[in-house]
Amino acid sequence: MSLELVLITGMAGSGKSVALRALEDAGYFCVDNLPPELLLQFVQLEESHARRRVAIAMDVRSANALPQVPEQLDELVQRGIAVRPLFLDATTDTLVRRFSETRRRHPLSRPDVDGDEHRALVEAIELEREMLAELRQRAHVVDTSVLRAAQLQEYVKSLLAAPLAQLTLVFQSFSYKRGIPVDADYVFDVRMLPNPHYEPELRDLTGMDLPVIEYLRQHEEVEDMFADISAFLDHWLPALARNHRSYVTVAIGCTGGQHRSVYLVERLAAAFGENWTTLTRHREVGGRG
């Protein structure tokens, strides 16, 4: 059995330390802020120790050496290492708020000539995005903008429990009122469908509850939407798999992220779970999915 390497990169303030703790709890040997220059030697050392699961976090604190990481990952894959890159991201507004609340300095921050700390922080975050763009493109992106620490830990563990050798479909429900997830590969808007929110007896339920399921199933528009999304995915998933994609995130959004999107996510995951590895996430339904 070859060594499995999880490489966690991402934006400062996006939750990399939280994700690393989740992997440590799951039995991974974890190292934070490993200099990229030591990656190949470190993996070789861990192989000699007969370790099977290792997780490493890297970020812009190693800015000068980051450009060599993609080539190193290619070399590790050629050596038979099972590499799983994860990139943690969040909206700029979220990152600004987190830095403001903790009063931490951004790794790329510098004194601003105008004394405008907010502008300086935003500029540092946008520079960081540019520097990490290639690593983001090669990784599975996790949007932590509205995730609590416990939710992020649970999601990271569920991602890595999925088989590495095949494509994993992540179906995610969300509310447009809280923004489109930045980690979505495909986004489907279902706000035009009949809304259970306007039925008093259904308002406090979710798309996982039987009364809501029965209500939505009786509407032809809902069936049409399910069929259209299914047809799109049926057509393109084989091509994505041939392109060696490890994860594909399909986000379904409605107004509140509680009824229609949740129902469709559950139904799509059940349907595609017959032939693909599937995971579900319900961003706005805390503790329910």
Do 246 and 84 contact (CB within 8 A), yes or no?
yes
CA angle (257 as vertex; 256, 260 as ends), nearest 5: 100
Closest by Cα among 156, 151, 161, 181 to 249: 181
Annotated binding site for ATP: 10-17
Q: Helices 220-242 and 210-217: crossing angle, nearest 10°?
A: 100
Distances (CA, A) of 220 to 20, 224, 259, 269: 45, 6, 16, 20
Distances (CA, A) of 191 to 34, 177, 188, 252, 270: 45, 11, 9, 10, 22
Closest by Cα among 282, 22, 25 to 154: 22
Closest by Cα among 116, 191, 117, 146 to 14: 146
Residues 6+ apart with CB under 8 A from 200: none
Annotated binding site: 10-17, 59-62
Annotated binding site for GTP: 59-62
Do 3 and 52 contact (CB within 8 A), yes or no?
yes
d(CA 272, CA 183): 20
Q: Which ranges constitute the DSSP H helices of the chain?
A: 16-25, 39-48, 69-78, 92-102, 117-131, 133-138, 149-161, 210-217, 220-242, 260-272
